[in-house]
Amino acid sequence: MRALIQRTSGARVSVDGRIAGEIGGGLVVLVCAMRGDGDEQARWLARKVVNLRIFRDEAGRMNRSLLDTGGAALVVSQFTLAAETKGNRPGFSTAAAPEEGERLYELFAEAVRGHGVEVATGIFGAEMKVELVNDGPVTIWLDTETR
């Protein structure tokens, strides 16, 4: 699985002009299941996201995790993280099939919740608008293939 995480002071996702999910401080997690991914990858990625020390401590250093800060996660499915960009038109054949992608997306969100983190989500497969204030800015790419 792949995830692009952004530290935020506030974020929301809307579908057809209606807010589907919204958080205050925490992380926006854009997530994509890849072909061949399974439950192990979803759980590993959730554990990595909630424990990644990218929030400032008292000395101003990135030394605190989402668990340490009590922040929330806005989890949004984004199959375009599977983009193959060899040519000028991206291909997405390495993304998981939609049914499996949705299952793993939901498993990932539940695994994050299982760590005691408040989770808001978008709507899988919908055309969404994501708004966030990227705090820092801090943006980090995670991939279970390179763990």
Map tokens 């590993």 to a residue.
44
Distance between CA atoms of residues 54 and 56, nearest Å: 7
What are the two backbone dihedrals, phi and then psi, of residue 120, each rounded to the nearest 5 degrees? Answer: -115, 150
Task: State the helix-helix crossing angle for 98-114 and 39-51, rounded to 10 degrees.
Answer: 40
Choose, from 6, 8, 41, 79, the residue flagged as catalytic.
Answer: 79
Q: By the 8 A CB rule, do 70 and 138 touch?
A: no
Q: Is 6 among the catalytic positions?
A: no
Residues 6 or more apart whose Cβ sits within 8 Å of residue 9:
24, 25, 133, 135
Q: Is 144 among the catalytic positions?
A: no
Choose, from 78, 108, 121, 144, the residue flagged as catalytic.
Answer: 78
Q: Is 78 among the catalytic positions?
A: yes
Residue 91: CB atoms within 10 Å: 12
Catalytic residues: 78-80
